[in-house]
Structure formats: C-alpha cells, structure tokens
Amino acid sequence: MARQIEAQPYHLAFAPESTALLIIDMQRDFVEPGGFGAMLGNDVGKLRVAIEPIRQLLAAARKAGLFILHTREGHRPDLSDAPPAKLSRGGGPQRIGDAGPMGRILIRGEPGHDIIPELYPLPGEPVIDKPGKGSFCQTDLELILKNRGIRTLIVCGVTTEVCVHTTVREANDRGFECLVPSDCAASYFPEFHEVALRMIQAQGGIFGWVSDSAKVIAALS
C-alpha cells in the first residue's frame, strides 16, 4: 500500500512492506565516555540528543511491522580486517584495539562495541557488523535488503556526516531511496550535521530525502 512521508525536497512515496529502518552505529563506543568517539577527541554528549527520537521512531516502526536492521562499526580482535590507514588515524595516544573503560576500543565482542540499551535490537532484527564507515562495504547488507524486497531506507544514527552519509550515498548508488529524519541523526559537530542534511536534499534530492521523526511516525500510523 503506497503512502507518503512529508519531507524535503518533496514528499517520499513508500510502501511499508518494502521499507526498512536502518539504525547506524548507536554503540557505546560513540555515545559514551571512554570509547572510540572520545578517543578521537570528541564530546560524546553531543550525540545523545538523537537517542530519544530514534527510540520513538524504532517503537513506531516495530508497531508498523517495518523491517528493522542495526549496524555496528568495529573490528575482529586480531585487527586483520582493519586497514593500516584506519589504525594509524586519530593522532592521540590511543588506537583502535587499545584497552579502555568499556573494553578494547572498537573491537567486536567488547562492551563498548555493543548497541546502547535504549535501542537494543530485538531477536529477528539483523545486526550488520561493518569494518568501515559505509554499511555496504564488506558486509551482506545489500543481499539481505534485496532478499526482503526492500526499496526504501529510513536511515538513523551516528554520525550524520560520517557513517550515516556514507551509507546513504552507498545505498543511493545501489538504487535504494533513502530518507534521513533530521532529529534521528547527530554529529560531534552540529554545523556538520546541518550541512550534511542540506547536502542530501539539495539539487532536487541528489541522494535522498530529509524529514523528521514526527513526520515519519505520522506516515507509519
């Protein structure tokens, strides 16, 4: 059944059965002190504004029967899937794989790598572990979406200009229609958040649509 989400630059037509909610990297490593985000010198509190809007949208999406997926950025404990160019990045004294208060930084299986309790996946909601910023790079995300007949992605998470943007760009080039609810994404740099959202919807929606959680929830109910 076709429906519409009020959005910029114009409404997005969607059908719930071919729409997925994709929640990007809402991990302790990015939103709690002592993880990867803090290691890079960021104020992790800046990302926490997105938690409650995502929680509300996630509840509405579950109720509407949308297909829901979560991603986590991180690496194997032996770091064999981490490019040297990524490992050397950051400039601070700590590196990916070093010990921190939430376990080894950005390493799969460590407490800091897991999704925050407020947004924890339910059984049956796939969790995509990705080594990069984009969710399609070296993962089975595209296969899973195609197998479910998904055409439209509602993309939430952190950070707006890094993993959310990279994923939306990758998805757009693969033929998916992507919408980002503005209050369901956040950045360590508020000005980057604003500009990243403008970039998505500019030029007639060059690689997607931007809306907000209230409008998406209204369209789902």
Is 63 catalytic? The answer is no
Residues 67-86: x/- map of binding to ligand TIU (CB under 6 A)? ------x-------------
Residues 89-128: x/- map of binding to ligand TIU (CB under 6 A)? ----------------------------------------
Residues 187-206: x/- map of binding to ligand TIU (CB under 6 A)? -x------------------
Cis upstream peptide for 19 (omega within 30°):
no
CB of residue 122 to ligand TIU, shortest distance in Å: 22
Number of residues that bind ligand TIU (CB under 6 A): 10
CB of residue 18 to ligand TIU, shortest distance in Å: 26
> What are the phi and psi torsion angles at 87 (to 5°)?
-65, -30
Residues 19 to 38: which contact ligand TIU by CB under 6 A? 25, 30
DSSP 153: E
Q: Among residues 19, 159, 167, 213, which is the contact residue for ligand TIU, using CB under 6 A?
A: 159
Is 184 catalytic? The answer is no
Tokens standing for 125? 């909601």
Applying CB under 6 A, does 87 fall inside the site for ligand TIU?
Answer: no
Tokens standing for 7? 């959005």
7-10, long-range: CB < 8 A, 24+ apart: 7/179, 7/201, 7/209, 7/210, 7/211, 7/215, 8/201, 8/205, 8/209, 8/210, 8/211, 9/201, 9/202, 9/204, 9/205, 9/209, 10/205, 10/209
The Cα 191–Cα 172 span in angstroms is: 23
CB of 186 or CB of 220, closer to ligand TIU: 186
CB of residue 111 to ligand TIU, shortest distance in Å: 17
The Cα 56–Cα 134 span in angstroms is: 25
By the 8 A CB rule, do 216 and 154 touch?
yes
Applying CB under 6 A, does 184 fall inside the site for ligand TIU?
Answer: no
**Dihedral (C-alpha) 163, 195, 210, 124: value to the nearest 10 degrees?**
10
Is 156 catalytic? The answer is no
Question: Which residues are catalytically annotated?
Answer: 25, 130, 163
Catalog residues that contact ligand TIU under the rule CB under 6 A: 25, 30, 40, 73, 133, 158-159, 162-163, 188
